[in-house]
Amino acid sequence: MTIRSLTSEEKDTLLYSIRDTKMTLNELLESTRSIGFDKSFKLSLPMITQDAEIIITSFAEHDYYNDGYSFFRERLDLITDKASDYNEIDINDYGLIKQSIYYGCSFEADLKDYDYQTFNKNKIDIETIQIPVLDKTFIRSIFYSNQKIENTSRSKIQHIKNKSILFKKNNESHEKFIDNSESSKFEIITYSESDV
């Protein structure tokens, strides 16, 4: 996902291009690589949905052909803490979000010295963030027994959808764009999505 602040002129240019080309925002962003996403903020985080699960599997240490034994499975939305607002991005008046949605295993880690006999589900802590303009919650970090677990980034995902959102930040607020307070509302100017 990329998030970029836009000026009023950049917003107008995008809207004129949509009008003139008869393309959706998503199609325009896909066909035009020079929109300036090199100046944008990038995030790559697993999204929490109602069907997102955590599955913990134990493997024999040197058995590379075994599928392992999955001994813990739970819906993520049932075990995560309340999400904190993500406030590390400054948006002036307008913002542009380009989001790629993937399906599959988006986080995988290897933990040594733990197995199904020593596992305690109460030692799992999943730190989440919320990006209100998307109305979605994302996993920022996963901890087990107060130790941060690093994603091995083994790609087991399939690209299924692209989404684009052009939005306006409420002028009454001078706070950062990601703030869930009543004074920091936003207006969606145009939204589009497409299956891959």
Specify the pLDDT at position 190.
Answer: 93
Specify the pLDDT at position 21.
Answer: 93
| pLDDT of 183 over the 90 cut | no
Cα gap 103→157, rounded to integer Å = 5
Of 7-11, 71-75, 115-119, 124-128, give the lowest mean pLDDT range: 115-119
Cα–Cα distances (Å) from 187 to 86, 168, 170, in that order, read: 18, 5, 7
Nearest to 141 by CA among 152, 155, 154, 126: 126
| pLDDT of 175 over the 50 cut | no
* Mean model confidence pLDDT for the chain: 83
pLDDT digits (tens, 9 = 90+) for 45-55: 888 988 899 98
| pLDDT of 155 over the 90 cut | no
Cα gap 118→24, rounded to integer Å = 52
Nearest to 3 by CA among 131, 183, 162: 131
Cα gap 184→70, rounded to integer Å = 43
* Sequence-ordered alpha helix ranges (H) in 6-75: 8-21, 25-31
pLDDT digits (tens, 9 = 90+) for 121-146: 999 999 999 887 887 899 999 999 99
pLDDT digits (tens, 9 = 90+) for 71-101: 889 999 888 888 888 877 778 889 999 999 9
